[in-house]
Structure 1
Amino acid sequence: METFYHNGVEKSVTIKEAQLFQRSMSLFLGSRLAKITIILAFVTLFLDGVNISSRYKSNRLFGITTFTQRWDKTFQVAEGGTLVLNSEMGNIRIESWPEKKIEIQADAQGSGGAIESYAIDFSQPTSHRVVVDAKHKTFFSYRPHLDLVYHIKVPENFNLELVNGEGKVTVNGLKGSVHVHSSNGDIELINFEGIGKLETEKGTVLGQNVKGTLSASSIDGEIEFEVFQGSLTAKTDAGKLTLMSVDGNIHATTREGNIQAELEGENTGAYFFSEEGVVELQLPSDIKANIEASSEHGTASFLPAGKLKAKKQNSFRKLSGAVNGGGKTIIAKSKEGNVVVAM
C-alpha cells in the first residue's frame, strides 16, 4: 500500500494502482508537451514570415511577403592592402576602381526571420586590412532561405582572401594576390595580373585574360581559361579542362574529364594528363618542342604525321619526337582515352 494526499484527504492505494496512476499522468503530460511543441513550431514558422524589424523593407509578390536589407560600408585603405571576406553564402562581385578606399554593398532578400538570423560584421584592424565576417546567428540546422548579393569595389593594386560557402565569386580588374575558396559555387577571374589560388568543391573555375602564377582546382566541376600567360596548374576530378590561347608553363590534370588545350607563344614546357578522358592539343606551327604522347588503352597520334621527327620507333599507343628542331618537352598522356597532338 502507498499513501498520498488529495485535497487534504489521506488516500491509500495499492502499488499497482499507484503505478497505473503514474503511467496515465506521464501519458497526459507527454501529450500536452507534444501539443505545446507543435504550437511553438507553428509560431516559429509564422514569425518567419512577418516583419520583425522596422529596419527591413517589405515586398508582397504572389501573396508572399519578402523583406530586404542593405549593408553599406566604406573604408579608407592604402594600395597593396588585403580584403578578407568570410561568408557562409551569397554571390560576390569584386571589381577595381581608381579610389583609395573599399566600398562594400550587401543586399539581402528573404523572409523577416531569414534576414534577422544573418549577421555581417565589418572591421579594419589596420589601414592595410579590412575584414568582413558574414554568417548565421544560430547553429540550428533549419535556416530560412536568403538571397544575398555583394558588390565590392577595391583599389586596383589590392589583395583578396575570400571564403564563400555557397554562391558565385567574380573578381575583375585586379593586380595582386587572390585566394578564393568556395564550397559550392563558381569562381570567375577576369582581367587579372598577379598570383592566384582558386579552389572550389562543386563549381566551375573560369579565367579570362589572366597573367601571372595561378593554381585552379575543382572537385566536381570544369576549369576553363581563355587568354592566359604565365604559369598555370589546373586540376579537376570530374570535370573537363578547356585551356584556349594559353602561353607559358602549363600543368593540367583530370581524373574523369577531357582536356582540350590550345598553346601559344614561346614553349616553356607543358604537361597534360587525363585518367579516363581524351587529350587534344593544338600547337602553333612555329613551336620548337619535344613531344611525348601516349595512351595505355587508347591511341596516340600526331597531325600532320610527317611533321614529327621521331627519335625512336613509335606505335599507335606511344610516340615521341621533335618539331622544328626540338625544345622544351610537352607531354600529353591518357590512361583510357585517345591522345591527339596537332599543329
Structure 2
Amino acid sequence: MGHFPILDGHNDTLLRLHKSNDTPSFFTESTSGHIDLPRAKKGGLGGGFFAVYTPDAVDQGGPESHLTETGYDVPLPPMISHERALTFSNALAAKLFQIEAASDGQFKVVRTAAELKDCLQQQDMMAAIFHIEGAEAIDTNLDALHVLYQAGLRSLGIVWSRPNLFGEGVPFRYPSSPDTGSGLTDAGKALVRECNQLGIMIDTTHLNEKGFWDVANITDAPIVATHSNAHALSPSARNLTDKQLAAIAASGGVAGINYAVNMLRQDGGLGTNISLDNIVRHVAYIAENFGVDHVALGSDFDGTTVSDSLSDVTGLPHLLERLKAHGFDDDELQKITHGNWVRVLENTWK
C-alpha cells in the first residue's frame, strides 16, 4: 500500500493527559489510552484535531449508566460556567503547547494549510490542530475568540452535548432523531459569522439538528462534522441524517467517522466485540451516497469506547486494509485518510 498518513478529525488525548498530569507519557509507549507518539507512529497517524474540552461539573456517566428498554437515554447536563471553562481550557491548551515544546521537532501545532501539508509529508512529524469542543470558554463579546485565534485556535465545536450560551447539544440517546431542541442563539449566530471572518473551522458535531441548519444557513465555509456517523446505519441522536449529509456534501464539507461502538452499531449496543467492517460500513455509506470527497476519519480516540478489533491507534493499518478490501482504491484512500480534511481546511482557513 502507498503512504496514507491519517489526519484524524477528533481526539481527547489532552484531557486524558491532564487527568493523569503526566505530559512525558505522550512520548513513551503506553498501554493506557489510545494515543501516544510512539503508538501514533506505528499506526500511521500523521496528525489530528486535538480537542480542548471542559467536562461537566458533575459526571453523570455515559450511556451504560442510562440504559432503557430500547437503548439508552442520557439526560442533558446543565450549563457550565464561562469562568470554569476558560480556566480548564487554558490548562489543556497549555498541555498542547508543552507537548510541542518538548517534542524535539516531532510534534507541531499547525496554523496554516501549508504547515499541515508539510507535516503530513514528513513521516517523523505529527501535525496538531488546536480545536475547542464546546464554546463555553468564549465570552459572548467574542473577545476570547480573537485571543484564542492568535494562540493558534483553528477549529471550534460550538457545543458539546449540553446547552451553552451559543446553542444546544444533542443528548446521547438511542434510538433518537437529532432534532431534540432549539437552534443557535443570537450569540451563536454571531459566533459563526466571526469564525468565518477569522477563518476558524466550525464543527457541527454534538449540535442538535436545528443548530446544524442554523450553521448551514449562515456559514460561507464548508460544513463539517468532525466525529459523527450515518444515522441511517445507527439511529443515535449523535449521528447525521441523510439530509444533513447531503448538506455537508453540497457545501464541499466532510464528515469524520467516529469509532465509538454505540455510534457504529445498528442496534446502538455498547459491546466492543465488533469487527472493523462496522467503521468501513459508515465510510462506504457516505462515499456511495454522497461522494467519497465528503467522508474522512474522526476517531474520538481517548474520548470514547472503541472496538476490541481496533484497540488503539496501532489498529489503524488494519482499518486501511479493510477499506482497501472493500474496494477503495489508492486515490480514494488518500482522500479518506487525509486529503478531504486538507481540502476543507484550505477552503476554510485564511
TM-score by length of 2: 0.23
TM-score by length of 1: 0.24
Structure with bigger RCO (C-alpha 8 Å, 6+ apart):
2
Structure ID, larger Rg:
1
Whose strand fraction is larger, Structure 1's or Structure 2's?
1
